[in-house]
């Protein structure tokens, strides 16, 4: 479960770095990955698989910060899904890294 949350955090921080670079302003205090991508102006740079990854990470952000039903989330996501999510997150981070100067 934590691996999903940490993948979300990595994406959030990378998106905020791109937001800061592109807008020359402090990134907003938010956790919505897609909204951050829009603010950074990079939403069109993601593949459809990376868009799916961003959507998949959202559930872990909420449960990681405001736990309500950890068992249900773990039961719905076998360990190999977390490995897949980690691998997909690395790909999306690589896409974002290419925007940083």
| Digit-coded pLDDT (tens) for 71-83 | 777 788 888 999 9
Residue 78 has what pLDDT?
86
Residue 59 has what pLDDT?
84
At 51-101, the pLDDT tens digits run 999 999 988 887 777 777 777 777 888 889 999 999 999 999 999 999 998
Domain positions in the chain: 2-97
Query: What contacts 12, CB < 8 A, 6 or more positions away?
Result: 31, 33, 36, 61
Percent of the chain beyond pLDDT 90?
72
Q: What pLDDT does residue 29 have?
A: 96
| Angstrom distances, CA of residue 31 to CA of 1, 3, 65, 79, 101 | 17, 16, 10, 24, 23
Distance CA 51, CA 72 (A): 24
């Amino acid at each position: 479960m934590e691996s999903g949350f940490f993948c979300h955090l990595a994406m959030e921080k990378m998106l905020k770095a791109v937001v800061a670079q592109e807008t020359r302003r402090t990134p907003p205090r938010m956790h919505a990955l897609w909204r951050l991508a829009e603010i950074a102006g990079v939403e069109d740079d993601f593949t459809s698989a990376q868009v799916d990854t961003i959507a998949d990470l959202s559930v872990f952000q909420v449960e990681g910060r405001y736990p309500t039903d950890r068992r249900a989330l773990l039961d719905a996501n076998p360990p190999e899904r977390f490995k897949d999510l980690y691998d997909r997150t690395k790909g999306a981070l690589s896409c974002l890294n290419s925007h940083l100067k």
